[in-house]
Amino acid sequence: MKNFLILTTTLLLLTGCGLTTARPKLEMTLAQAAFISAKEAGGQSLAPALYRKAEFYYLKAKSSYRRKFFNKAKKYADLSKRFSEKAEFKAYKKKALDNI
């Protein structure tokens, strides 16, 4: 009985910690790639509002990841990716329309 209590307590302590939360490595990598693509497309000058939002959320995602708030990091990385893609699309769209 004593061994069962020790085993149960140990199991609860291990699963109750942050060990069960997966690190959002893929989301962080995709957000970084999207942010770099938006920068290379000229999002800073052609879509500054969207680019600033993407940068803001990317920096928040990195900060949350460093502090091991993985749920927040995933959410911010997804937002950064979304705004980066919008900024990149808008930049390419403006470049195409300027060439017409």
Give the predicted TM-score (pTM) of the model.
0.79
d(CA 35, CA 60): 13
HEC profile for the chain?
A: CHHHHHHHHHHHHHHHCHHHCCCCHHHHHHHHHHHHHHHHCCHHHHCHHHHHHHHHHHHHHHHHHHCCCHHHHHHHHHHHHHHHHHHHHHHHHHHHHHCC
Per-residue pLDDT tens digits for 40-99: 999 999 999 999 999 999 999 999 999 999 999 999 999 999 999 999 999 999 999 998
Digit-coded pLDDT (tens) for 18-32 = 556 899 999 999 999
Domain boundaries, the chain: 23-98
